[in-house]
Chains A and B, each alone.
Chain A
Amino acid sequence: MRVNPTLRAAAACMALLAAAACGSSDSTGSSGSPGAGGFHPPHLAARSTLGKPEGQVNLIAWAGYVEDGSDDPGADWVTDFEKRTGCDVHARTAATSDEMVSLMKTGDYDAVSASGDASLRLIASGDAAPVNTRLVPHYKDVFPGLKNRAWNSVEGVAYGIPHGRGANLLMYNTRKVRPAPDSWSAVFDDASRYKGRVTAYDSPIYIADAALYLSATEPGLHIKDPYALDQKQFDAAVGLLKKQNADIGEYWSDYLKEISAFKTGDSVVGTAWQVIANLAKSEGADVRAVLPKEGATGWSDTWMLSARAKHPTCAYKWFDWIISPKVNAEVAEYFGEAPSNARACDESADKNLCAVFHAADEPYWRKVHYWTTPIEQCLDGRTGVRCVPYAKWVQAWNEIKG
């Protein structure tokens, strides 16, 4: 393994710079809007114009976001894109946000459909570049509630194009779980009633679900934002999850696993996405999904541009394509999520799409706390304390699972 020493030194410097950039900013950036995030990303400028399409674009996406009909002939919005722009799409699906981050770091990819628990990390490490939204004509139709938010912008600079969103709902088996729950207590304080049949999302970000529940049930902890937890609040959330672990049957990470568990009765209550509830129901499972009274966590995916993109023009073309009303409706319908483009609601094959997924239901989304990467600078604007950063969440999550 001989590595050019200058290169190695350069890499080390980059790493140190990135660390310094986000570690030395507590005095300036933290008092602004929550979107300010309290850190300064590396200085990168967005492009002001587009060049000629490069003939290719490499994407990292969630399964179901980039479909060319080869897996499911009914789902194909890539072929038309390729024909129109001349950009060949090479997609790699990632199973987790962490995998997306590491794939982005390879520099082999031009863009990624990052969820909020990945996006800030990509921005801070300089892997994602700012996006000039003026170069994405369909951006104007994106729901205002998705623009310039904490997970897709820093200090008013957009770092991506919103793709779609969903909430982490409470799903339960209507025959086994009675009375019908309307609170997360079903999976926390009352979880022992369904011992061995409770399920939870297998990711460190799930700690925020516990924090959200505590924000309602333990007012003494003063949790304002489930992604901005100081040590004491964090320990309380982790303690709650360790207690919950005794009643957990399994943690889920892909939808097939959860649908099958609810169908067979291996799981009877737990977090789920709307699409999982719909599919499980269509296959005869007795399930219902609700947005509990405490609200819920949720995700909003953002198409982000790699700072080292080799095919930026094609990437921009892709951004515009994927949020164009018809395609946005198609992908939202296929994946099972709320589209980001307001005009997508008129284009969907299933006229109920936007109603089922609450696409335009702003009061609904106000109860949803979207995944955001927790960082040391508290995202809720507190300055006197340090919050627990995501790396610690990962460690804690391993401990919770035991």
Chain B
Amino acid sequence: MTSTGQAAGSVRRLAGALHRRPRLRLSLLLGAPLLWLVVAYLGSLAVLFLSALWTTDSFTSEVVKVWSAENFSALVSEPLYRQVALRSIGVALAVTALCAVIAFPVAFYTARVAHPRRRPLLVVAILTPLWASYLVKVYAWRLILSAQGPLDWVLAPFGVSGPGYGRAATVIVLTYLWLPYMILPVHAGLERLPESLLDASADLGARSWRTFRSVVLPMVLPSVAAGSVFTFSLSLGDYITVQIVGGKTQLIGNLVYSNVTLNLPLAAALGTVPVVVIVLYLLAVRRSGASSSL
């Protein structure tokens, strides 16, 4: 009895001390996460990007720790890298746009049209494909897009054929893979829209389309921006999908991957490209006010 009493007392004292010292409380809250995130993660990133300033021995691919801006100047001067970087950004933007266009009606249905009792089930239906392995899905698409495959089979009566393997196939498959990441935030954003606002718009005489354009769209845009962070950044860094369905297409991820083992400094320099693009994109999205839904 006494010992538990004492324990309870010391817990109370500790709680009191914590309550009186918000700084202490804060540092206890932040200590472990900061150590992990800032020291371990950002530290590793920083070292990696510093190593971009090194070079490698051309035969043994050992890193030679002599400072030089060689890799970064190659990044700028080599037309190949510029071309691939632009292509990758183009693919990522196309995927994001396609995801947004497809996600909107689906999310609108699941969040506002479907019977409220069925909504949780629909959310499950959106989440489920995330559990099917990424690789398996991509190989399934490889089959779907193959010559005389299911897509050609469906399209044949219309006298057209599928795009075959290549850049278009890459965009299609990446859109498929990341679509749930767009539908979910848009669904959440639409769910949050107060009914009264929509009613007010209708009372003021706005038709469905007008309400959609002037009320729904502006209010859901931050959610789309939040979803786009995922679709954009996941597409920009991908290198496996493009290997499987991209035909001979190369994206920035492939260049990084092909250099990782032999020329880590160059791979690190190439890696800065998507990192810079994504950080800029994130900053732009935050600025647009999506930070609250991100």
Contact = CB atoms under 8 A, between A and B. Distances in A.
A125 interface: yes
A64 interface: no
B90 interface: no
B143 interface: yes
Interface in B145-186: 146-149, 164-165
A376 B143 contact: no
Given A249-B247, A402-B80, A1 B61 contact: no
Interface string A1-18: 100000010011011101
B243 A253 contact: yes
A124 B57 CA distance: 11
Interface in B235-294: 243-244, 246-248, 250, 255, 258-263
Interface stretch (B1-9, B40-48, B220-228): B40-48
Contact of A250 (B59, B64, B148, B165): B165
Interface string A181-216: 000000000000000100000100000000000000
A15 B57 contact: yes
A221 interface: no
A125 B61 contact: yes
Nearest to A101: B261
Number of chain B interface residues as a range? 35 or more
Contacts of B262: 98, 101, 390-391, 394
B62 interface: yes
A102 B64 contact: no
B208 interface: no
Interface of B: 43-44, 46-47, 56-65, 80, 83-84, 139, 142-143, 146-149, 164-165, 243-244, 246-248, 250, 255, 258-263
Nearest to A253: B243
Interface in A90-120: 96, 98-99, 101-102
10 contacts: A1-B44, A125-B62, A196-B164, A249-B165, A257-B142, A261-B146, A373-B59, A390-B58, A398-B258, A402-B84
A391 B165 contact: no
Given A125-B60, A402-B248, 8 more contacts: A1-B46, A8-B65, A12-B65, A101-B61, A125-B61, A266-B165, A398-B255, A401-B248
A12 B158 CA distance: 64
Nearest to B43: A1
**Chain A to chain B: the 3 pairs with minimum beta-carbon distance, closest first:** A125-B60, A102-B261, A98-B261
Contacts of B61: 101, 121, 125, 391
Nearest to A118: B261
Interface in A350-402: 373, 375-376, 389-392, 394, 397-399, 401-402
Nearest to A377: B59
Contacts of A14: 62
A15 B58 contact: no
Given A121-B60, A266-B164, A257 B244 contact: yes
> Among the interface residues B43, B65, B146, B258, which one has the most CB atoms of the partner chain A within 10 A?
B258
A19 B57 contact: yes
A253 B243 CA distance: 9
Contacts of B147: 264-266
B149 A15 contact: no
B263 A15 contact: no
A8 B54 CA distance: 14
A101 B57 CA distance: 14
Interface in A8-65: 8, 11-12, 14-16, 18-19, 22, 39
Contact of A16 (B44, B64, B84, B149): B64
B81 to A, nearest CB: 9
Nearest to B65: A12
